[in-house]
Amino acid sequence: GCVFLVSVVEQLAQWHNSTVKAAMERLCNYIPGKYQIMRHIIDREMNADVVCHSLKLCKEDPGQPLCHLYPLPKREKHSPGLFYAPAHSSHICYFDCFCLIASLGKKNFTGFSNICSFPLLANLCEKIKYIIRNKLPFEDFDGDKFSTFPTLRGYHWRGRDCDDKNSTMYPGRRPDNWDVKSDSNCNGIWGVDPKDGIPYEEKFCKGAGSQGVVLLGDSAGAHFHIPPEWMTVTQMSVKSFANLLMVLADEIDWPQFSEITGFLNSTIGGWTDSLYLRLRKRNRCNHRDLQNISQNGMLTAYLSFSLARNQLLDNPAIVVYATIGNDVCNGKRDTLAHMTTPKEMFSNVVQTLQYLDSRLPNGSHVILTGLVDGRFLWDNLHDRYHPLGQLNRDVTYSQMFSFFNCLQVSPCGGWLTSNETLRNLTSERALQLSNVLKEIARSEKFANFDIFYMDFPLSQTAEEWRKMGGEPWQLIEPVDGFHPNQIAAALGTSITWQKVLHEWPQVLGKENPFNDQIEAIFKDQGGH
């Protein structure tokens, strides 16, 4: 974190032809609000690795390799170590602004070891940890697992609650008495048609096969995205950080634009196309019936059982089970030893499916998605410049991947590596785990849902993008070099939809013939 921050500050100074101090002030002005956290400035030109080691925010552990992003500096005579603070240099500390990443990286920051140790914040911190761990809304007054608040696992992740003081009103339930008096399922359809006295819900949604969509996934499903303008000084401005707090409150994920549950127009490039939007277009009665139960770093062994579904009261659902990489991805030096085995995969998935069978209403569907072949990442990125290296053409993805691997924080040491043998072995294990999923879909039977398997459509997505004039590297998140980006998500939705529509049409249900009438009434009433 320190290396990234110092790199940005130094590049800001270079781009705007200013001092480092002025560049730090500029960065502070970009950040919304004022954060009373120490800021360090080094009054000497040194690369980011040297600065961070000089400030003791980074260190070299005994017996461990020296991790660095930039080329190593030359040792001077009698220097205490490879990275040192020259005797004639100094650092100036300011308390009026901001050095968030650096201070968070320093565990023993003077007078501040852990913000959650403060008595007034302890309970709040515990609640936030709980909701992140269990993937439940922070603000949910009636306890129905739906919220009127967007972030902190609110309606960016699950359909928006229409009454957070009434636990019998929430997205996805079957209408209560055809919603004559209130919108019990939050789909916007309620009341009685004055022309014939028939409830709108009964007229338009009875027998329409209403169903929701649920995603059980990892960071790709949660749609992890770090805005590249946060690290690209030529694009950086006040607007770059305008939504910083929202991004942090959503765990640096953007589920509202994601491939399975996206529902808002994308503001991070590309366009939004999702399974939810297509189901909603097919049947307007499905409005708001979505749940994204994904988490960064999620493995099949740790899928949280936080599904909001009642077998007696709610509509069926399509559940997409997609942990596409984390069972083979870790940052350990002996990465192969820490990958999920086929036996473990079978046990983890069957356990989750048994849980779903106890919660999903009859008539639901489950789609198991195979693991991705992550060799695509190295093949298309390794010799390209990372956003942090674009100004001076000095940091490639290969260097970034090596830096992460050295620190043992790589999102996937098996694929993000120059070791071709290791990349191939990782893909071999991913294929083995995908075959486990395929066999489960073929042989296992459940009472309340049927089950299908599909490969992760990476190669088809890349081919579609080529036909549109694009290049494969443009489908990968530029900052982390690991996740599918917004374009990949939208194209993936189209490919998935076509496969399901042609091979398993029963999953999607029939098209509601009253969709146009529903929309017309909404427009007449001034709604959307």
Q: What is the CATH number for 501?
A: 3.40.50.1110
Higher-scoring residue by pLDDT: 107, 46: 46
Same domain, 101 and 246: no
For residues 444 and 453, give the distance between their C-alpha atoms in angstroms, rounded to a whole number.
12
- Per-residue pLDDT reduced to its tens digit, 410-444: 999 999 999 999 999 999 999 999 999 999 999 99
Domain boundary, last residue among 83, 106, 129: 106
Residue 126 has pLDDT above 90, yes or no: no
- Residue 24: pLDDT band with limits 50, 70, 90: confident
The residue segments making up the domain with residue 43 are 1-75+92-106
Question: Do 356 and 366 meet the contact criterion of CB atoms below 8 Å apart?
Answer: yes
Same domain, 97 and 233: no
- Residue 82: pLDDT band with limits 50, 70, 90: low
* Residue 144 domain-assigned (yes or no): no
Residue 114 has pLDDT above 70, yes or no: no
Question: Do 55 and 91 meet the contact criterion of CB atoms below 8 Å apart?
Answer: yes
Whole-model pTM over 0.75:
yes
Same domain, 97 and 216: no
- Residue 107: pLDDT band with limits 50, 70, 90: very low
Distance of CA 308 to the CA centre of its chain: 20
Query: How many domains does the chain contain in total?
Result: 2
Cβ count within 10 A of residue 278: 18
* Residue 200 domain-assigned (yes or no): no
Residues 6+ apart with CB under 8 A from 493: 259, 260, 273, 274, 275, 278
* Residue 346 domain-assigned (yes or no): yes
Mean pLDDT of 136-143: 95
Which residues on adjacent β-strands are paired with residue 453?
368
What pLDDT does 108 receive? 36
- Average predicted confidence (pLDDT) for the chain: 89
Q: What percent of the chain stands above pLDDT 90?
A: 74
* Residue 320 domain-assigned (yes or no): yes
Same domain, 438 and 319: yes
What pLDDT does 83 receive? 52
Residue 347 has pLDDT above 50, yes or no: yes
Higher-scoring residue by pLDDT: 48, 340: 340
Same domain, 96 and 231: no
- Residue 78: pLDDT band with limits 50, 70, 90: very low
Same domain, 102 and 236: no
Q: Which residues are catalytic?
A: 219
SS3 94: strand
- Residue 210: pLDDT band with limits 50, 70, 90: very high
* Residue 128 domain-assigned (yes or no): no
Sheet of strand 317-322, all strands in order from the earlier edge strand to the far edge: 290-294, 212-217, 317-322, 364-369, 449-454
* Residue 232 domain-assigned (yes or no): yes
* Residue 447 domain-assigned (yes or no): yes
Same domain, 228 and 344: yes
* Residue 409 domain-assigned (yes or no): yes
